[in-house]
Amino acid sequence: MEAEELKQKGFNPAPTGYFSGEAFVKQLVLTDEITNCNVSDVYFEAVCRNNWHTHPSNQILIVKEGTCWYQEEGKPVQKVSSGGVINVLPGIKHWHGASPESAMVHIAININTDKGVVNWLEPVTDTQYYL
């Protein structure tokens, strides 16, 4: 999907400092004084992935399109197809992104945002990604 088409659908460019490649985010539910979570659609172009990071509370990822590559530190990459769900536990160092073959979209649900949302770490190297 082209950037202009994504923008027309409500997506905005993701922060470039935390992604290798092009990613776009569409906010679906924002945290407020009543809702202690946020929900977003995140679009990753092929090969795009985010940096290693942790969350102070659970993050739930629901793959909508494509195949999500997900890896926890010290474990092999998991390939999660459309419809799959990943429950990332608090404090687990991990990354996620698209496969080399195609774009991927997942819903990211961050719960208990009063504890914080994300702690960004170093980029995922090409060697780590293609391992």
- Going by pLDDT thresholds of 50, 70 and 90, the confidence category of residue 66 is very high
- Residue 1 above 80 pLDDT? no
Identify the burial level of 108 via C-beta atoms within 10 angstroms of its C-beta, where 0-12 means exposed, 13-18 middle and 19 or more buried. Answer: buried
In this structure, are residues 54 and 94 in contact, taking their beta carbons and an 8 Å threshold?
yes
Q: Return the CATH superfamily for domain 3-130.
A: Jelly Rolls (2.60.120.10)
Question: Tokens 């102070």, residue?
Answer: 56
| Strand spans (E) along the chain | 12-13, 19-20, 23-29, 37-44, 49-50, 53-54, 59-65, 67-72, 78-81, 85-88, 94-98, 104-111, 119-120
Mean pLDDT, to the nearest integer, of 49-62?
97
What is the pLDDT, as a whole number, of residue 2? 83
What is the pLDDT, as a whole number, of residue 93? 98
Task: Show the tokens assigned to 43.
Answer: 């679009």
The Cα 85–Cα 97 span in angstroms is 14
Question: Tokens 């080399």, residue?
Answer: 100
- Residue 90 above 90 pLDDT? yes
Sketch the domain layout of the chain as residue ranges. 3-130
- Residue 14 above 90 pLDDT? yes
The secondary element (H helix, E strand) that includes residue 13 is strand 12-13
Mean pLDDT of the chain: 95
